[in-house]
Structure formats: C-alpha cells, structure tokens
C-alpha cells in the first residue's frame, strides 16, 4: 500500500474518531439529562427558568447602580466649612442616609451585598439545572421541563431577594432609582406566580429500559472509538 493511500486512510480514520468522540460527548450529555429526569421530583418549565435567570441579571445590574449612587454620597467632613455654613436638606424619611458610611448607608450597602450574593448563587444553581452543552455543533433536543433539586429553596431565595429590595427601596425613598426597584419587585412576583403554575411536583415514571439502551449504545460507541484510536496509533508508529 502506497504512503499516499496509508496517509489518506489515516486522515479518514482520524476524522471518524473526532466524529465519534463528539457523538459520545453529546451522548453523555443526554445520559446525564435522562438520569436527572429519572431521579427528579420537581420540574420547572425551561422558559420559566430562562426568565428567572434573565431577571437575576437585571437584579445584578440595578444593585450595581445602587452601589454607584451610594458611593457618590459625600463624607461627613464635606459638610464642614470655615467660610460659610453648608445647608443640609431635611427629609421626611426617618431612616435616611445623611452621609457616606453612616449607619443607614452601611445598612443599604449590606442589603445590596446580600441581594447580589443570593442572585449569583441562585443563577449558578439554575445554570447547572439548565444543563447547556458548552460546545454544540448540532441542534440538540431540549426538554420542555428541567429537573430542579429543591424548587422550594429557589422560591425562598427569591422571596429573600424581594424583601431585601423592598427594604432598600424604603431607604432610597422617592428617587428615580426606586422605580427600578419597584419594577424588580413586580418581576419577582410574576416569576413566583409562574413557579406555582408551571412546575410539576412529585412526578414518578420509569425509564429504566430506555436508560439501559442508552448505556449499551454509549458502550458500543466507546469500543468503536478505542478501536479507531488503536489503528491510528499503529499507523503513526
């Protein structure tokens, strides 16, 4: 056999090995997805999950805007002048921010920190549940419902975010930013209603036979890949 033919055959088998590896990679994704569905008890509609993650992104944006505003507050020393008296506007709000680093300012920053921490944690949980494949060259089938390990904890976290935003709104009072906070609270309420309507609780079904077939196919695919690898290694030697 000529060197050209051997090289062409090796290239073809390399291509088949790459294709088989990619197929095995996707197969593992489906196997994990199937296993999660078999073991899952609570399920959430994929659209609701996406809406929730989008909401959490908006929460992060607004909270960072709040931090910018708070950090622009003047320090207490800025109210002191040897030349003339600096007037301080009075407010009807009892717990109002008078200057940077005062007690109310610090409480507002703590609320923002708590909201950001909870939002990032919840987004990470939902991203894991969504189970997207990092690199996809084909249109993979996506389930309409995805399993959630503990949906009640997700709802509890959203309620906590809602309450902290409400407390933050009371501190900021009647300013333009409060409109964004009010909008976030409204969106959280809408997501909460979608949770109640769309998730399926205590779902039981048996997909053991289908799971066995998937495992057989995965094993067969792996054997083919190993054989191709051995042939290519022999050609290279």
CA dist., res. 157 & res. 4, Å (int): 64
What pLDDT does residue 96 have? 76
Three-state secondary structure readout of 186-218: HHHHHHHHHHHHHCEECCCCCCHHHHHHHHHHH
Q: What is the DSSP letter of 100?
A: T
Gap between the Cα atoms of 8 and 101, Å rounded: 72
Q: How confident is the model at residue 201 (pLDDT cuts 50, 70, 90)?
A: very low
Q: Is the pLDDT of residue 177 over 80?
A: yes
Q: What is the pTM of this model?
A: 0.68
36-78 per-position pLDDT tens digit: 776 667 778 888 889 999 999 999 999 999 999 999 887 776 5
- Mean pLDDT on 180-195: 92
C-alpha 214/C-alpha 27 separation (Å) is: 8
pLDDT at 165 over 80: yes
pLDDT of 172 higher than 80: yes
Which pLDDT value is given to residue 67? 94
- The whole-number average pLDDT for the span 82-87 is 60
Helix (H, G, I), strand (E, B) or coil at 80: coil
**190 vs 18 pLDDT, higher one:** 190
Nearest Cα residue to 201 out of 151, 137, 142: 151
CATH number of 45-76+92-202: 1.20.120
Each domain of the chain, given as residue ranges in start order, spans 1-40+211-237, 45-76+92-202
Q: What are phi and psi of 24, to 5 degrees?
A: -65, -35
Q: pLDDT by residue (tens digit) across 98-128?
A: 778 888 899 999 999 999 999 999 999 888 8
């Amino acid at each position: 056999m000529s060197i050209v033919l051997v090289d062409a055959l090796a290239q073809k088998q390399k291509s088949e090995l790459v294709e088989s590896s990619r197929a095995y990679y996707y197969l593992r994704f489906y196997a994990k997805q199937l296993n999660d569905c078999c073991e899952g008890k609570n399920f959430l509609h994929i659209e609701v999950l996406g809406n929730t993650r989008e909401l959490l992104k908006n929460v992060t944006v607004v909270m960072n805007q709040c931090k910018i505003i708070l950090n622009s507050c003047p320090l207490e020393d800025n109210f002191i002048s040897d030349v003339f008296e600096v007037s301080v506007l009075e407010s009807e709000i009892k717990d109002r921010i008078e200057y940077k680093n005062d007690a109310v300012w610090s409480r507002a920053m703590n609320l923002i920190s708590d909201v950001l921490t909870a939002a990032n944690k919840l987004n990470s949980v939902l991203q894991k549940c969504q189970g997207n494949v990092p690199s996809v060259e084909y249109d993979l089938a996506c389930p309409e419902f995805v399993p959630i390990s503990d949906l009640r904890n997700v709802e509890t976290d959203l309620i906590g975010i809602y309450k902290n935003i409400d407390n933050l709104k009371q501190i900021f009072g009647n300013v333009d930013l409060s409109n964004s906070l009010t909008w976030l609270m409204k969106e959280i309420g809408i997501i909460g209603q979608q949770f109640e309507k769309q998730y399926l609780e205590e779902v039981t079904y048996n997909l053991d036979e289908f799971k066995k077939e998937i495992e057989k196919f995965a094993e067969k695919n792996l054997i083919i890949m190993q054989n191709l690898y051995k042939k290519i290694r022999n050609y290279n030697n």
